Amino acid sequence: MKWLEAKSCMVLHSSDAYSRLQQAVYWDGPDRSITNVSMSTSPAHTTFIIENLKESYQIGDKLFVTVHAKNFENTSKSYGGDFFQAKLFWSKTKASVFGEVVDLLNGSYSVRFLLPWVGEAQVAVRLIHSSEAVQVLKHHRDTDSDRVYFNGYYEGPGPNKTRLSETVTCNVK
């Protein structure tokens, strides 16, 4: 039996697994068509605040930050879908940790950091993609999915105690 003869692969999944996968990759976005770029999220106008700021913290404490997204007209956004990255860092020691960003689906985002070191720290929040850009990327993912490939690597026992391997280009359908 030659199990390495397959020249293509297809990832199969149950409808339940597919549904869970769809929920995991769901990304909220604008509830209306955005035709003016000034309505998209502006990193210059978006702000964040540290909630219940204390004088000092202990290792293992949690630090909470709220991000308020605003557009280029400095107006608060009323929907989520932005891709933010939040980092707690201290340049002096080159220590850093990323926070967990939760979309509140109303233009605000909650960030949770677990404090892992003794000493000072700073918070930085970066807009990676606005919700409007995410919608464009999502559209291309949904309509051009045949452009996303990965390599499947298969290895197994061969004749005379050798190892056989094969790399196959795969695509999720």
What's the rounded Cα separation, in Å, for the pair 20 and 32? Answer: 26
pLDDT of residue 7: 46
Q: In which band, very low, low, confident or very high, does the pLDDT at 134 lie, cut at 50, 70 and 90?
A: confident
Expressed as residue numbers, the domain containing 86 is: 24-148
**Within a domain: 51:** yes
pLDDT tops 60 at residue 103: yes
Mean pLDDT of 79-87: 95
pLDDT in tens, 42-57: 999 999 999 999 999 9
Q: How many domains, in total, are found in the chain?
A: 1
Report the CATH number that the domain containing residue 91 is assigned in CATH: 2.60.40.10
**Within a domain: 84:** yes
Burial degree of 5 (CB within 10 A; 0-12, 13-18, 19+): exposed
Q: Which residue has the higher pLDDT, 86 or 13?
A: 86
pLDDT tops 70 at residue 61: yes
pLDDT tops 60 at residue 155: yes
**Within a domain: 133:** yes
3-state SS class at 131: helix
**Within a domain: 3:** no
Mean pLDDT of 87-105: 95
Share of the chain above pLDDT 70, in %: 82
What number of other Cβ atoms are within 10 A of residue 123's Cβ?
16
**Within a domain: 156:** no
pLDDT in tens, 10-37: 555 567 777 777 776 666 666 667 678 8
